[in-house]
Each structure stands twice: as structure tokens, then as C-alpha cells.
């Protein structure tokens, strides 16, 4: 295959490209990434000589179309997104710019270049949230979209864009909505690398008040294999859920980190919830199992423990990235107005670049 993988220098994108090159060494892969604060080219260091890296914006339709033609791309896999729920509360516009308009620009380039497949990577979060106390509640591929946060709404908008390019112009699309991912190379603003890094330095772990809120967890490599199976055998126009059925609360994730690093529970610091903090997501992924025979291969709890050890052993990877995180833990309000001026009290908001702002809290999510 000749692949154009967007967001390839991010967490899941880099795991995907590494997995793809290991299993399909004959592929031609263009790894495309804007290198926002979350994009990190060293994530691809060990496979740089097997791929072509291009820095650019998915919303730049003309440039992307030229690349698709020059590299005779047959398959686009779109991971590129603003992905941090907490940043979305502070600076929502950039989420709608990339996740909706950027996705449209990419679809347009793919339509013009006539690719054979456009795979779009989305999230369980587009459906809104589920009650904690309803054991039968689950999202199917037919559940209505009811996003509750700016990140989720921007991802939902992106999904609608992709689907409309299929319905209107026959762009040969597939979509995956996946559960919370864990694994190596995740930017240290997300709960698992963040809590591991803090605990290693005996710093407080900022746990939201609603620490019973829970997520379904999957290793990024299981997600990567599901996407490859869909590229091979998935039906054009279809959406597939990718999950494991294994749910863990914020409290349980925190305990796994503290146990693995042998650190005391006294490091836990309860902080105010993020506004719109979703309670629970759970995907019915029986369609991909039934129709394509996919099953996750990595036990989530053992995989999370192994991932904590990876971060513990790879301080040199995450330490320099912490400086780039636009959202830092602390106290204060969640106002999206906050970044425009000095905060009167509470959070310290620090400009770290032309389009990156620092805000008050830490994520309890994986995206």
C-alpha cells in the first residue's frame, strides 16, 4: 500500500506507523504532521529511514493534494487532530479549526486526488456520556451523536464531514470510533504518562472530584491492528467501533500508577472537575468482531502496568515535552476567556507560543 498517515508524529499515529512498517515493510508511507506542541518527530526516530516525513497542515488542501499525487497515495489514514479535552475547554477554536475544517480540507484533497480509501480515526466521545449506574448502557454504531464538550463536538463534526464526502462525492471512507488508548509515546498531558511522571517526582497527582468516572481502555497497537484490518477487509461507507469492554475508573488508574511505582496514596490531590467531564463511555464493538474477526490481543490491565513501566524507564523521552504542555495542573477557573489576560487569582496562564496557551488543570482522559 501507499499510505498518507496524518498526525503521524503524535501518540497513536506514531504507534500506527511503527506497527505498519513492522508488518508491511514494503509499504510506502508518507508521515504527515503539523508538529503542534503535541506532535513530536522523535516519536518516529527509529523508523525515520523507512518513511517520508512531511510537516504540514491537513487543512492545506492544495499542498496535500500535490503530495497525494506525487507519492501516488492510495490510502489516507487520518489521525491528525487537536486531542486534549482540557485544552479544548480553554481554547476551543483551534479544535474546530483542525478537527472540522482541517478534516474537510483533507477530504477535499483526497477526493480531488482520487484515493482508493480514506480512513478516519474518531472517538467514543462523540456519543456523549453514559450513566455510571446503568449496567446495560452502551454505545452502538447507530447511537445518536450527543457530544458534550468542545473536543467531542469537534470530533463529531469531523465525522459528519467525512460521511458527507462519501454520500455526496463517493469518497471511499471508513471510520473507527475507538475507546481510550494507552501505550508508549503519549504526550505527558494525558492521565497515564502525566500521573506516572508526577508520581516519579513525588509530586501531587491532581485527581478530579468525580474519580469514579470511568473509561474503556485499549492498547494503541490493538487500535492500529483494527485499522489495518479495516483497510484490508472493511466495507466502504461503514463505521466500526474498536474497544475491549474493560473499564477502569480514574481512581483505579491512579491506584495502578501508585502501585506500579511503589508510591503512597498521600500523593493524591483532589481537584475541581473539568466542566462537562463525561461520566462514562462504553462501546459495543461486536460488529468488528463479527464481521472482520478482530479481537484485542493485549490485556488492558497488564498493558497499562507495562506502559507505566515504559514511562518510568523513558524519562528522557517525556521530560523535555512537559515544558510544551499548554495545560498545567493547578487551581482556578475553567473560563475560555482566561487566556486573553492575566488571571486575577488561581491559575497561572503562560503563553508558550503563538497559538498555545497554558491553563489550569490536568486531564483524566486519554484524549
Ligand X SMILES: NC(=O)c1ccc[n+]([C@@H]2O[C@H](COP(=O)([O-])OP(=O)(O)OC[C@H]3O[C@@H](n4cnc5c(N)ncnc54)[C@H](O)[C@@H]3O)[C@@H](O)[C@H]2O)c1
Residues lying near ligand X in the complex (CB under 6 A)? 6-7, 9-13, 33-36, 38-39, 57-59, 79-83, 98, 102, 121, 123, 155, 178, 180-181, 187, 366-367
C-alpha cell at 297: 490481543
Is the CB of 253 or the CB of 267 nearer to ligand X? 253
CB of 195 to ligand X, least distance (A): 15
Pair 187, 133: CB distance under 8 Å: no
Is the CB of 222 or the CB of 367 nearer to ligand X? 367
CB of 342 to ligand X, least distance (A): 28
Is the CB of 6 or the CB of 244 nearer to ligand X? 6
- Crossing angle between the packed helical segments 300-313 and 315-322, to the nearest 10 degrees: 80
Q: How far is CA 43 from CA 120, 155, 218, 240, 313, in A?
A: 21, 24, 20, 27, 15
Is the CB of 174 or the CB of 267 nearer to ligand X? 174
CB of 202 to ligand X, least distance (A): 27
Is the CB of 189 or the CB of 267 nearer to ligand X? 189
CB of 96 to ligand X, least distance (A): 12
CB of 270 to ligand X, least distance (A): 24
How many other C-beta atoms can be found within 10 angstroms of the C-beta atom of residue 267?
19
Q: How far is CA 294 from CA 227, 240, 245, 290, 297, in A?
A: 10, 11, 14, 8, 9
Is the CB of 326 or the CB of 339 nearer to ligand X? 326
Pair 327, 356: CB distance under 8 Å: no
CB of 83 to ligand X, least distance (A): 3
Residue nearest to ligand X (CB): 10
Pair 1, 24: CB distance under 8 Å: yes
Task: List the one residue out of 25, 74, 16 whose CA is nearest residue 225.
Answer: 16
Length of the chain: 367
Pair 158, 121: CB distance under 8 Å: no
Distance, in Å, from the CA atom of 110 to the CA atom of 64, rounded to the nearest integer, reads: 8
Amino acid at each position: 500500500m501507499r499510505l498518507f498517515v496524518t498526525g503521524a508524529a503524535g501518540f497513536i499515529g506514531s504507534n500506527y506507523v511503527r506497527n505498519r512498517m513492522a508488518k508491511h515493510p514494503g509499504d510506502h508511507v508518507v508521515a504527515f504532521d503539523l508538529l503542534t506542541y503535541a506532535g513530536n518527530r522523535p516519536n518516529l526516530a527509529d523508523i525515520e529511514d523507512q518513511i517520508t516525513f512531511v510537516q504540514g497542515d491537513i487543512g492545506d488542501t492544495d499542498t496535500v493534494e500535490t503530495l497525494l499525487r506525487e507519492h501516488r497515495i492510495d490510502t489516507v489514514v487520518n489521525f491528525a487532530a487537536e486531542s486534549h479535552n482540557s485544552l479544548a475547554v480553554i481554547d476551543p477554536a483551534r479544535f474546530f479549526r483542525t478537527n472540522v475544517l482541517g478534516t474537510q480540507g483533507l477530504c477535499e484533497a483526497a477526493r480531488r486526488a482520487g484515493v482508493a480509501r480514506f480512513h478516519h480515526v474518531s472517538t467514543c466521545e462523540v456519543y456523549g456520556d453514559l450513566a455510571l449506574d446503568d449496567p446495560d448502557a452502551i454505545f452502538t454504531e447507530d447511537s445518536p451523536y450527543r457530544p458534550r464538550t468542545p473536543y467531542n463536538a469537534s470530533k463529531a463534526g469531523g465525522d459528519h464531514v467525512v460521511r458527507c464526502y462519501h454520500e455526496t462525492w463517493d469518497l471511499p471512507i471508513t471510520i473507527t470510533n475507538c475507546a481510550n488508548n494507552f501505550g508508549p509515546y503519549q504526550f505527558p498531558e494525558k492521565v497515564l504518562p502525566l500521573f506516572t511522571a508526577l508520581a516519579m517526582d513525588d509530586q501531587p497527582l491532581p485527581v478530579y472530584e468525580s474519580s469514579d468516572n470511568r473509561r474503556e481502555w485499549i492498547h494503541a497497537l490493538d487500535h492500529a491492528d483494527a485499522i489495518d484490518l479495516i483497510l484490508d477487509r472493511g466495507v466502504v461507507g461503514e463505521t466500526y467501533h474498536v474497544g475491549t469492554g474493560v473499564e477502569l475508573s480514574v481512581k483505579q488508574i491512579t491506584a495502578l500508577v501508585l502501585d506500579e511505582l511503589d508510591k503512597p496514596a498521600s500523593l493524591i490531590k483532589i481537584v475541581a472537575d473539568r466542566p462537562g467531564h463525561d461520566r462514562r463511555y462504553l462501546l459495543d464493538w461486536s460488529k468488528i468482531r463479527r464481521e472482520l474477526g478482530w479481537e484485542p490481543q493485549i490485556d488492558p490491565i497488564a498493558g497499562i502496568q507495562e506502559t507505566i513501566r515504559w514511562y518510568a524507564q523513558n524519562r528522557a523521552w517525556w521530560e523535555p515535552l512537559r515544558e510544551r504542555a499548554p495545560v498545567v495542573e493547578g487551581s482556578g477557573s475553567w473560563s475560555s476567556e482566561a487566556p486573553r489576560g492575566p488571571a486575577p487569582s488561581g491559575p497561572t496562564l503562560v503563553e508558550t507560543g503563538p497559538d498555545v496557551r497554558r491553563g489550569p488543570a490536568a486531564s483524566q482522559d486519554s484524549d
